[in-house]
Structure 1
Amino acid sequence: MPGFESLILGEKTAVVFDIGSVYTKCGFAGETGPRFIFPTEITQPNGQVKHFLSLKTAKEKRKFLTVFLHQLYYRHLLVNPKDRRVVVVESILCTTEFRELLADVLYNHFEVTAFYRAIPSALFAPAHLVTLFTLGLSSGLVLDCGYKEAVVVPVSEGYTLLNAWQAAQLGSETVYANMKSLLHRDALLVEEHGQTCALAEQPDTETMLTREVLEDLVARTCFVSPSQRAEQWDRWSSAQLNTTDDDEVAEPKVAEEHFVYPLNNLQVNKRLQVPSRLRELAVECLFRGDNDRITLASLLLKSFITCPVDIRRTLAANIILIGGTVNIPGFASRLLEELDSFLEWDEFSNLRALKGTFRIHQPPAEPNYVAWLGGAIFGALECLPGRSLERSVYLEKKTLPDWTSVIDTNPCESAQRPEFILDACGWELVADKR
């Protein structure tokens, strides 16, 4: 328990939270998992639910963060924010506006003593460490596949290779949009009395196919097919579009022709009759890409090409997948197949020596909160106070430092510990500073 540990160690355990676009993870440093994982939303007094993604202005976002963090501290964690340090795990694509708003709410409204920012996708220091801490690695390639986008960043000996990061809008949002279009095209709506009609003919499909419904449908039913079966679906789909082709292509076999999904968000008893092939086709958008042929595999390989030649094999053997989208069954095995397959492209001919060397680590936690776990590990280290931004410093400068320019702020204290400590650009041996 955090309270019991504070009596022994003399300092209360730091609070760790990861505010995502859709879900927020919160808990205490030194624990093996977050205490709570809940939607990033608030319920207003009139009963209306407000999502963070729907906010546009800075005033709305600040009001949202004030109410949301109040619930986080006083309803979920049951702690006083004035008594504890904070470790915030943030996305590398998080805007400066959001960072400044978050700091303003924490320091001025909740009056936290200090807080530390850690980035899961390893772009800025100490980004790489919050993920690599969970595996005890100093080198690796981190793929963060979340709701909005997929971000790839390589790390070598604790140093983030900022020139080799890659990003694309290949996250859960893309999968949900693809599933929605497939449902409009192929799904049937089963009425209360058993009558069926095409879903596309219904005028209120937007209220039926909400983000929550699509998320639940993908999480419960979808999986990633192996490359060979995906190619069979591609040939079948092409044959369906090309009606002049004399050669008939058989549809790949499925266990059941369709399945029924209840629409529990509606007041009436309606169900969706969904073709089983959609369970596989919905996720193919992550591996088939768009007109620019940007896929998850191509993102990783483009990052490899930008990295120095002598570290590519080490990075290939230490790939780490994080983010909620990675939870889809078959994701990791399909990605390995795609990596070896894409090496045949002329664009990636310089990487063909890596064929068969790609390895994906299994983190000691679910992919959707591996980054939080890394922040919790770092929050339990003795160097946390020296790496935190104190409230007095923030109130004086009214801005957050760029972590690419942060240096060791406690050289005297650090010189007493001949060990590796966290520096802004990576690992740094304190003994070398003496």
Structure 2
Amino acid sequence: MPAYDSMSLISDKQCIIIDIGYKYTKFGFSGESNPRCIIPTETISSDTGKYKIVFNYKDTDELYTNLVDFIHMLFFKYALVHPKEKRVVIVESLLSPSVIRNTLASVLFDHFEVTSIIFLPSHVISLYTLGINTGLVVDVGFQEAIVIPIYEGIPVLKAWQALPLGSKAVELALRDRIQNKIKLITEKGEEVMNSFCLFDTIVEDIKVKSCFVTTLERAKLLANGKIPKLQPPAFRYRIDGSTVIDIESIDRELPFETLFEQDNDQMSLSTMILDSILKCSIDMRKQLAENIVLLGGTVMTKGFKARLKEELLSLIKQPKYSDKLFINVFKFHNPPAKENYVAWLGGSICGATDMISMKSLTRDTYCEMNNNTIPDWCSLTNRSDSVIQKILQL
């Protein structure tokens, strides 16, 4: 008996939980506290033979092919589970394009023949891990940062905020700083400049190993061209036996300033949070400010939470917010999991409840649907009157 067959017998009653992010995908089973694997959302291109990101596609057919290859690898290489006749929970962003949702459903139903699928919004189910139904969810992913207030389990859509501030922006800033600092050590021990091409994986590794978020006080000094007295040690990164990059102390601090520096529209990660709270009703604001939930691998960077709180307390004193937001306290939750898979854990909790059997979309129902189009999560088609009234009130 193949390994995946024996393993699937153990988990027949469990749902498969998949959180497909642009950069990384989390996979596991319902009722478990940790995903079985966290892997890059990549597949091998049939044209070039190199790895490519699944969501870099030209048309729907290419997206379909990418998802088939990626999910096949996910099930049979990493999870060792046969997907046929399984129930699947998909954790997705509220702003995920409909074409991705519809193509993913087609791949799972038509190609892998799963029994049912349910799509869960990541911002909402992240609160399940904390046992609360109201919070300001800040998701800082690879491509963008998304802020959505959740009040009594309902997203406040008029207050959502999004900006291209994520790991990608940080890595681009880091690449610009270190691209011309690559050196080649010769056999005589001499160091000469080298034109080595920096791959994305190398830049990401340097970011994780050496970079951190500095304090607001040091950031102001660096912005004015002043160098603080105390400096973090420099870092020498070895690409191979003879190629090295000298990461200076300032190179370790400044890349993450991209997230907090205000652009031409005076927008940053900190202003997104305050603007989102400001767009909510007055009676919601204090509760949202005291229930901030951070998601995404970017927020796991050392010093991120402390700097974000400093920024919020500083900005709230400015006339733009002080005359409208009468808040002087910001509180952050500590989820029972690492921030990069909190949303997956929320899906795992939901997958262990009866909601999955009652709200899932079955394969038979999918085949009867017109054009096989999955209803959007905010569609009022299958909602009860009480839920509709809550949405309309917000």
TM-score relative to the length of structure 2: 0.90
Quickly say closer, same or farther: Cα 1:404–1:223, change in 2 above 3 A: same
Preserved CA contact (<8 Å) 1:326 1:367 = yes
User: 1:380 maps to what in 2?
Assistant: 352
Residue in structure 2 matching 1:327, options 291, 296, 300:
300
User: 2:3 maps to what in 1?
Assistant: none
Count of aligned pairs = 382
- Separation (CA, whole Å) in 1 of partners of 2:91 and 2:388: 15
Quickly say closer, same or farther: Cα 1:44–1:52, change in 2 above 3 A: closer
Secondary structure of 1:107's aligned partner:
helix
- Given the alignment of the two structures, is residue 92 of structure 1 paired with residue 91 of structure 2, yes or no? no
- Given the alignment of the two structures, is residue 135 of structure 1 paired with residue 137 of structure 2, yes or no? no
Could you tell me how far 1:405 is from its partner in structure 2?
Answer: 2.0
- Given the alignment of the two structures, is residue 263 of structure 1 paired with residue 235 of structure 2, yes or no? no
Preserved CA contact (<8 Å) 1:386 1:410 = no
Secondary structure of 1:381's aligned partner:
coil
Quickly say closer, same or farther: Cα 1:21–1:426, change in 2 above 3 A: farther
Preserved CA contact (<8 Å) 2:88 2:118 = yes
Percent identity of paired positions between Structure 1 and Structure 2: 37
Could you tell me how far 1:56 is from its partner in structure 2?
Answer: 2.2
Secondary structure of 2:130's aligned partner:
coil
- Separation (CA, whole Å) in 2 of partners of 1:311 and 1:255: 41
Could you tell me how far 1:71 is from its partner in structure 2?
Answer: 1.4
- Separation (CA, whole Å) in 2 of partners of 1:426 and 1:38: 38
Could you tell me how far 1:346 is from its partner in structure 2?
Answer: 2.3
- Given the alignment of the two structures, is residue 70 of structure 1 paired with residue 105 of structure 2, yes or no? no
Preserved CA contact (<8 Å) 2:159 2:279 = yes
Could you tell me how far 1:59 is from its partner in structure 2?
Answer: 1.6
- Given the alignment of the two structures, is residue 17 of structure 1 paired with residue 18 of structure 2, yes or no? yes
- Bigger radius of gyration among the two: 1
Quickly say closer, same or farther: Cα 1:156–1:410, change in 2 above 3 A: closer
One-letter amino acid matched to 2:239: L
Residue in structure 2 matching 1:350, options 309, 315, 323:
323
One-letter amino acid matched to 1:309: I
- Separation (CA, whole Å) in 2 of partners of 1:231 and 1:425: 47
Matches within 5 A, 1:158-177: 158-177=153-172
Residue in structure 2 matching 1:253, options 217, 226, 230:
230
Secondary structure of 1:151's aligned partner:
strand
Preserved CA contact (<8 Å) 1:159 1:425 = no
- Separation (CA, whole Å) in 2 of partners of 1:370 and 1:376: 10
- Separation (CA, whole Å) in 2 of partners of 1:331 and 1:304: 20
Residue in structure 2 matching 1:102, options 90, 95, 104:
104
- Separation (CA, whole Å) in 1 of partners of 2:74 and 2:274: 39
Could you tell me how far 1:189 is from its partner in structure 2?
Answer: 1.7
TM-score relative to the length of structure 1: 0.82
RMSD between superposed Cα atoms in Å:
2.4
- Separation (CA, whole Å) in 2 of partners of 1:255 and 1:375: 40
- Given the alignment of the two structures, is residue 403 of structure 1 paired with residue 380 of structure 2, yes or no? no
- Given the alignment of the two structures, is residue 40 of structure 1 paired with residue 41 of structure 2, yes or no? yes
Preserved CA contact (<8 Å) 1:318 1:361 = yes
Quickly say closer, same or farther: Cα 1:220–1:83, change in 2 above 3 A: same
Could you tell me how far 1:134 is from its partner in structure 2?
Answer: 0.4
Secondary structure of 1:133's aligned partner:
helix
Quickly say closer, same or farther: Cα 1:426–1:364, change in 2 above 3 A: farther
Could you tell me how far 1:54 is from its partner in structure 2?
Answer: 3.5
Structure 1 segments unaligned to the other structure (5+ residues): 123-127, 237-248, 412-421, 428-434
User: 1:240 maps to what in 2?
Assistant: none
What CA deviation, in whole Å up to 9, does each residue of 1:14-70 have, x standing for no partner?
000111111111000110010000111123688532322443222221111111111
- Separation (CA, whole Å) in 1 of partners of 2:9 and 2:114: 21
Quickly say closer, same or farther: Cα 1:137–1:381, change in 2 above 3 A: same
- Separation (CA, whole Å) in 1 of partners of 2:118 and 2:389: 15
- Separation (CA, whole Å) in 2 of partners of 1:250 and 1:108: 60
Could you tell me how far 1:251 is from its partner in structure 2?
Answer: 4.4
Preserved CA contact (<8 Å) 2:8 2:81 = no
Matches within 5 A, 1:45-56: 48-56=50-58
Preserved CA contact (<8 Å) 1:15 1:84 = yes
Secondary structure of 2:223's aligned partner:
helix
Could you tell me how far 1:76 is from its partner in structure 2?
Answer: 1.9
One-letter amino acid matched to 1:23: Y
Preserved CA contact (<8 Å) 1:408 1:423 = no
- Separation (CA, whole Å) in 1 of partners of 2:363 and 2:267: 43
Could you tell me how far 1:327 is from its partner in structure 2?
Answer: 1.0
One-letter amino acid matched to 1:254: Q
Quickly say closer, same or farther: Cα 1:53–1:261, change in 2 above 3 A: farther
Secondary structure of 2:242's aligned partner:
coil
Quickly say closer, same or farther: Cα 1:252–1:294, change in 2 above 3 A: farther
